[in-house]
Structure 1
Amino acid sequence: MNTSKPHQALLKALADIKPGYPFRGAIRHDPKGEVSVVQVRHLDPEYGFGEGCQAASLDRVTLEGRRKPDYLQSGDILFVSRGARFFSAVVPQAIPEHTVCTPPFFLIRLSESGKAVITPEFLAWQINHHEAQSYLTRLGQGTLQHSISKSQLKGLPVTIPSLHRQSLVTSLHRAALDEAEQLRALIANREQEMRALGMAVLSEARASEQAPVPAQNDQAAAGHP
Structure 2
Amino acid sequence: MTPPVVVTVAGTDSSGGAGIAADLATFAALGVHGACVVAAVTAQDTTGVRAVHPVPYDVVAAQLDAVLEDLDPVVVKTGMLATPEVVRLVAERCAGRLLVVDPVLVATSGAVLAGDDVRRAYREHLLPVATVATPNEEEALALDLGDGPRVVVTRGGRVPTTNDHGTGCTHSSALAAHLAHGADVATAAAGAASYVTGQLTLGKDWTLGRGRGPVAHIHAPTQGEIA
Higher RCO structure (Cα 8 Å, ≥6 apart): 1
Larger Rg: 1
Same fold (TM over 0.5): no
**Structure 2 length normalisation: TM-score?**
0.30
TM-score normalised by structure 1 residue count: 0.31
